[in-house]
Amino acid sequence: METTESKRQQVIEEFRKRGLRITKQRIAIAEAIFSEDGHHSIDELYRKVQEKVPHLGYATIYRTVRLLVDCGFVTEQRFETGATRFDTDPRDHDHLICLQCGRIIEFTSPEIRRLQESVAEAHRFRIMKRKHELYVNCQEMLKNGECPHRDL
């Protein structure tokens, strides 16, 4: 995965190319989203960015994240649990989503890819975009009757 600094520079270059203003707020938001891999919510980004830019509002975060989506730096994921998350991993991958706490685990499976291609080909379709989500109860939930990650 690329470094936060590398992604920061790419964002600055892309914003310049598009004639967008480069502000300390936008840079702080980009740094927050790229500082760790995962699926970020607007609330998580808000809490993270507040440390650097205390008077930043939700609207600024949302608009900046939308710009990052439009520029292709992150993808918006709307899960059936109602959560909207912003994913920094551009690679093709699938998701396991815990129904109890919403924790998201990424995975890839060549076997699943081959099966998807085979099914599409059998029906004379070509896959243009993939979205594969499995809604699960984690092992701890199955074993203990409650999810230890519920309040995370």
DSSP H helices, 93-147, are 110-122, 139-144
The CATH number given to whatever domain includes residue 36 is 1.10.10.10
pLDDT, one tens digit for every residue, the chain (152 residues)? 567 788 889 999 999 999 999 999 999 999 999 988 888 999 999 999 998 898 899 999 999 999 999 999 998 888 877 778 898 887 788 888 888 877 888 888 999 999 999 999 999 999 988 888 889 888 877 788 777 766 55
C-alpha triplet 102, 104, 106: angle, nearest 5° = 165
Residue after which a domain boundary falls, among 43, 78, 113: 78
Domain-located, residue 40: yes
d(CA 137, CA 84): 19
d(CA 36, CA 134): 23
The CATH number given to whatever domain includes residue 111 is 3.30.1490.190
d(CA 7, CA 11): 6
Among 28, 29, 10, 39, CA closest to 103? 39
Neighbour tally for 67: CB within 10 Å: 19
119 vs 2, 112, 113, 116, CA distance in Å?
34, 11, 10, 5
Give the pTM. Answer: 0.75
| Residues 58 and 116 grouped into a single domain | no
| Residues 70 and 125 grouped into a single domain | no
DSSP strand pairing (104-107 vs 94-98): antiparallel
